[in-house]
Structure 1
């Protein structure tokens, strides 16, 4: 009995000394000192199995100084406390811990009211869960990210009562439910719930064995990464060696998922080009490509270019690089990748044909692109999207908000009233910034301008009828035309007397974009670990790189041309940005004040607010088309 207590005490003393040296409070935290009763409400959860690693402290001051932070005892072996601990330990070894402990849960951590010694012995015996009677302290709702994640957990717990899984990011509980074909509104079928528990237990054991403690991620974060690549099927009964190999393959993705510093936005091509010189250049082997040994590049399209404005632009880019590089680069496109199965098949075909670089041109292709990148690590994969966190696939997109700002300013100078229409596509990363930049540009030329917003991806809504009903005849429409259905309803245009007059349109110069990316490979400046420590790389180039621009109608007055060119040059040199200085959102709520710096690139990409002169809202998920939902699920700024 005393020997067991001494062994437990040594663990406690070691933890106590380590915390003291580090300047960390060495005793158990006390819930009553952490939260005020006025800031929480109580609800009784009842008897549940509590993961011992989530029991972190005591409810009251009481016995807190009898234990180190790891719940191991630190009082003298001759004390009454030590004797009672020893007696309970002997009983636990022979009969088990039969009486439930009483705990309070706050923000997914548990604080003991009765049963401190039982928790201590459970930790000492490495018991993973104990039975406890739980009272939950629910905090008031705030905008704090941790608070939002906690309330997402509460939604999850009500449909799948499981405490073990924790996440670090908003929206992850919904993603988990989606992988199991469920949601956070309806109770999960028992079979699905048991599958989740079994899958997570199997993964947690293997992940821990591979060194989970070395990463700054929760096991839940890593589990979600695993599900993204392999799905939930097959974990029960999986060969341990296969699971080990999968975890090792995904290790870098685990790192990126838990470290925002491992995600980088490259704003200029020069940021990702690493020049080699001096002695290093002599030893560096530069790839040699020629007509006999070309760089083979494949493009994956959902459908033929003539049926899609978006894909048509990428096909023009593919044709451009074929001409720009000649026989040194060989390209091929697959234009029937309508689903993940077909995309996977086409990627397999491309790799078998020798493709060394593969571009997928839609965010909804990202999931399969990642899986293929895991399967073919020697191939360079890129997906046309932005602000996604994965290291195996680089993303590329344009700062189109810069062009939209110019077009908004131009629209307000050519408008006959104050109403302007704006047709948006999907509510994905960057799209809301384009709306707001357009609106801010318009308000700079006409402070009374009103931007009427419609979404082409909304079901059962005719945006043309809406604009007509609102009395709008000047419209910012799609960026590109669709070849098979030629129309002048693109760019900035005005409709009058049944005829359309184009004033300007933005340019996605995909040829230039692809040229800049491919040249990195040809010249040997592509780096497997670009931008220092960053692992997940997102290209987000703009007007300064020549991949985004605005074309003006030759029928515009020369004064308009002159003013637009001044603004354009200021954007190119980055001396002007729509998100600098004072900004208000709808309802005249201030976003930032006069003279304040430009908001961060991450804030630009993830905007969910609309400028105060925008008339309209972001759509709800159930209002979107099937294809739009697929894109939003990957890189959207709205949630279910």
Structure 2
């Protein structure tokens, strides 16, 4: 069938021209060239498998690569012996299919053919998606690179699910994938799960690429597939109509763009960053005449969704004070409502539905454990503004807000060291999530600056097996940085910085303050003044994180009258330095428990380094907890925003629950 060879050759020649324009090789890649200089690499016989044709990048040896373009379409002239054999194979394929497997080497999840180049070429030309292959794996050399770490995770995944159809490019993705499907990484996956993956992924690729023809598509297929599974169970791709799937992927497109952007978080450090954009945005808004109009008759409606109640959670009590403040502060321009005891996805979903039905324009969820359903709701209600109280979670549809609490902890460390005569200071932390470790280290550095002999005894209140009060007593620790909040229904004086005297009495010295009223006032003003969509906050491939501190008035430290005069003066000096930007706990030389982090330089740590730090300062006695040691509530928070080193599963707990239950709640997802 010479016409078919000519048609295939045209595709090959077109690919070669495109390669020349893009200044890349026009021929298939050669594995021998890729691993040249690596020395002898181990090879493992994987056996007979079906492999995706789009994962075949080239050939094992240079051989006859010049007979093919990079897309494996033939390029030799039609009057050659090669063309005749290719056409004969094509005829055989159309009648009987490709019966003999190829031989291919797998290196870093890509394939290189040693036997069967023409079979690959013909299969691609006829539109096949996969081919049988005897696979030999070439093991890469160990390297401290992201690519190597991701590949090691793939090997762990391959041990429980022997298939190549879906691969990911980000660390932690294979465990997230397992969680989405209700599977683990230590037991073989059932055959029916593999069948579902193949069927669902084939549908997803078709719809994803169809939608990608209309816009920018930068996220690899596997990564985009995992993003989809964060929102919808895998069965939805098999059972739902194509129109519904297209609508869903259209709604998710900005999330795909954020996931593809390695620098996908816009960190707004002060409200002034918004105000600085206001003038230019006002000009544009004046042209477009889009300034919102709010009045007492048409107030801005804000809904707050709490996982517990203000009576049994000091954290929620603070947010409730903030909610009441923002409503009273604007004199009727802002209306608020609250929904309590919304800790599960279903409870959050019902609260969001009720709030939107009640015309709420903004919805606040105040725990990272509520983020999964907050994100799903934001995709479902694109005209409603959603915010979650957390940091460093990258989603375009949900903005996050949190405080620079490490600034207050720095001051509190200095206070504690000024009164701890035996150099021992206790520190009680709750969850090992983003931002918390920075608070521990800032406290330790502040203490060390006042007393170089100070040692910080770290305990985790969510550790199931410890009694931190007894531990401090046994260790001779009398000055303690306890929980940041008190529960109104269970009042205690063991919060903030306190000291126990010889009779066991608690003497309160200082406490951190979250001024949530001020925070919510500033966010509400952002909407009332029409700057919510100001440049830098509304880019479609970025997420927006508000991360405000002392300079914005949302974080502070209150001091007891019992604190010595000199300690108060010290705090005032440090506070003014932080507000002005002259002082930061993470400027200059830094040491962790394992050695030097940064030499003495003027440049401090970046915001990302502060938020995501997973090391402990050298004067801290203690460690990050193991995930299995934490209670259920802490584990839920760690799954969503745990720091590196705690052993997270990467979230998706609700998706896993849906998958394990074998059903999908689709009552409002269309």
Q: What TM-score bracket applies, with the shorter chain setting the length?
A: over 0.9
**Aligned partner (choices 233, 242, 257) of residue 259 of structure 2:** 257
Correspondent of 1:393 among 377, 385, 398: 398
Bigger shift: residues 528-537 or 552-561: 528-537
Give 1:307 shift. Answer: 0.7
**How much does 1:261 deviate?**
3.4
Cα offset, 1:233, TM superposition:
3.7
Distance across 1 between alignment mates of 2:173 and 2:602:
33
Offset of residue 482 of structure 1: 1.0
Aligned residue number for residue 7 of structure 2 = 7
* Equivalent position of 1:609 in the other structure: 615
Greater relative contact order (Cα 8 A, min sep 6): structure 1 or 2?
Answer: 2
Question: What CA deviation, in whole Å up to 9, does each residue of 1:308-360 have, x standing for no partner?
Answer: 01101101111111221121111111122132222211222222222111111
Write the deviation string for residues 207-247 of structure 1: whole angstroms up to 9, x where unpaired: 22222794111222222222222223433221111111111
Instruction: Quote how far apart the aligned CAs of 1:278 are.
Output: 4.7
Matched, 1:536 2:543: yes
Distance 1:422 1:38 in 2: 51
- Among 627, 647, 651, the alignment partner of 1:621 is 627
Query: How far is 1:577 from its partner?
Result: 1.8
Alignment of 1:587-606 (within 5 A): 587-588=594-595, 590-595=596-601, 597-606=603-612
Q: Which moved more, 1:210-219 or 1:150-159?
A: 210-219
1:365 CA drift (Å): 0.8
Residue 523, structure 1, aligned to residue 529, structure 2: yes
Aligned pair in 2 of structure 1 residues 395, 143: CA closer, same or farther (>3 Å)? same
Relative to 1, partners in 2 of residues 1:454 and 1:95: Cα closer, same or farther, differing over 3 Å?
Answer: same
Once residues 638 and 623 of structure 2 are traced to their aligned partners in structure 1, the CA distance between those partners, rounded to angstroms, is: 16
8 Å CA contact retained: 1:289, 1:522 = yes
Tell me the distance in 2 between the aligned counterparts of 1:207 and 1:92. Answer: 29
CA–CA distance in structure 2, aligned partners of residues 583 and 631 of structure 1: 28
Match of 1:313 in 2: 318
Gap change, CA 1:24 and 1:350, over 3 Å in 2? same
TM-score, normalised to structure 2's length?
0.91
Aligned mates of 2:326, 2:8 — CA distance in 1: 68
3-state SS in 1 of match to 2:330: helix
Residue 56 of structure 2 corresponds to residue 55 of structure 1: yes
| C-alpha displacement of 1:606 | 1.4
Relative to structure 1, the CA distance from residue 17 to residue 234 in structure 2 (aligned partners, 3 Å threshold; closer, same or farther) is closer
| 1:138 positional shift | 2.1
Question: Which residue number in structure 1 is paired with residue 591 of structure 2?
Answer: 584
1:208 and 2:209 aligned: yes
Give distance in 2, aligned partners of 1:518 and 1:530: 18
- Matched residue of 2:136: which SS? strand
Tell me, in whole angstroms, the C-alpha distance in 2 between the residues paired with 1:95 and 1:448. 81
Out of 606-615 and 82-91, give the one that drifted further: 82-91
Q: 1:278 to 1:5 in 2, by over 3 A?
A: closer
SS in 2 for 1:505: strand
Matched, 1:298 2:298: no
Choose the corresponding residue for 2:357, options 344, 348, 352.
352
Distance 1:341 1:575, change over 3 A: same
Aligned length: 639
The answer (yes or no) to whether the contact 2:211–2:246 under 8 Å persists in 1 is yes
CA shift, 1:280, in A, is: 4.8
Is the contact made by 1:581 and 1:593 (CA closer than 8 Å) also made in structure 2?
A: yes
Instruction: Tell me the equivalent position of 1:634.
Output: 640
Aligned to 2:232: 230
Partner of 1:145: 146
Q: Separation in 2 of the partners of 1:93 and 1:329? A: 69
Return the offset for 1:630: 1.1
With over 3 angstroms needed to count, the CA separation of the structure-2 counterparts of 1:567 and 1:39, relative to structure 1, is farther
- Partner-residue secondary structure (3-state), 1:485: coil
SS in 1 for 2:316: helix
Q: CA deviation at 1:4?
A: 2.3
> Is this contact kept in 2: 1:168–1:258, CA < 8 A?
no
Q: Does 1:383 align with 2:384?
A: no
1:429-473 CA distance string (max 9 Å, x none): 111111122122222222332221111111132111222222222
Closer, same or farther: CA 626–324 of 1 in aligned 2, 3 Å: same
Alpha carbon RMSD of aligned pairs, Å? 1.9
Checking the alignment, whether the CA contact within 8 Å between 1:402 and 1:571 is kept in structure 2 is: yes
Distance between the aligned counterparts of 2:285 and 2:313, measured in 1? 46
C-alpha deviations, 1:63-102, integer Å up to 9, x for none?
2232221112223333333333233222222222111111
Q: Relative to structure 1, is the Cα distance of residues 138 and 469 closer, same or farther in structure 2, using a 3 angstrom cutoff?
A: farther
Larger mean CA deviation between 554-563 and 153-162 belongs to 554-563
Q: Paired residue for 2:134?
A: 133
- For residue 307 of structure 1, give the secondary structure of its aligned residue in structure 2: coil
Match of 1:178 in 2: 179
CA contact (8 A) 2:423 2:453 kept: yes
Asked if the contact 1:12/1:72 (under 8 Å) is kept, the reply is yes
State the secondary structure of the residue aligned to 1:306: coil
Query: Secondary structure at the residue paired with 2:437?
Result: helix
- Structure 2 counterpart of 1:551, from 555, 558, 566: 558
Q: 1:133 & 1:41 partners in 2: Cα distance?
A: 17
Instruction: Structure 1: give runs of 5+ residues left out of the alignment.
Output: none
Question: For the residues of structure 2 that align with 1:539 and 1:406, how far apart are their CA atoms?
Answer: 22
User: What is the alpha-carbon distance in structure 2 between the residues aligned to residue 635 and residue 559 of structure 1?
Assistant: 39
Decide whether the 8 Å contact of 1:48 with 1:134 is kept in 2: yes
CA contact (8 A) 1:290 1:327 kept: yes
What residue ranges of structure 2 are gaps of 5+ in the alignment? 650-670
The separation in 1 between residues aligned to 2:616 and 2:542, in whole angstroms, is 32
Give distance in 1, aligned partners of 2:332 and 2:547.
28
1:94 pairs with 2:99: no
Aligned to 1:459, what secondary structure does the other structure show? coil
* Partner residue in 2 for 1:507: 513
Map of 2:34 onto structure 1: 34
Counterpart of 1:166? 167
TM-score normalized with structure 1 length: 0.96
Q: Distance in 1 between matches of 2:362 and 2:289?
A: 21
1:460 partnered with 2:465: yes
Kept after mapping to 2: 8 A contact 1:582/1:594 = yes
Distance 2:232 2:129 in 1: 27
Distance 1:121 1:602 in 2: 49
Q: Tell me if structure 2 keeps the 8 A contact 1:39–1:139.
A: no
The Cα of 1:508 is off from its aligned counterpart by 0.9
In 2, Cα distance between equivalents of 1:152 and 1:279:
48
In the alignment, what sits opposite 1:366?
371
Distance 1:564 1:39 in 2: 61
In the TM superposition, what is the alpha-carbon distance from 1:50 to its structure 2 partner? 0.8
3-state secondary structure, aligned to 1:227: helix
CA contact (8 A) 1:271 1:531 kept: no
The 3 A distance-change label for structure 1 pair 44 and 471 is farther
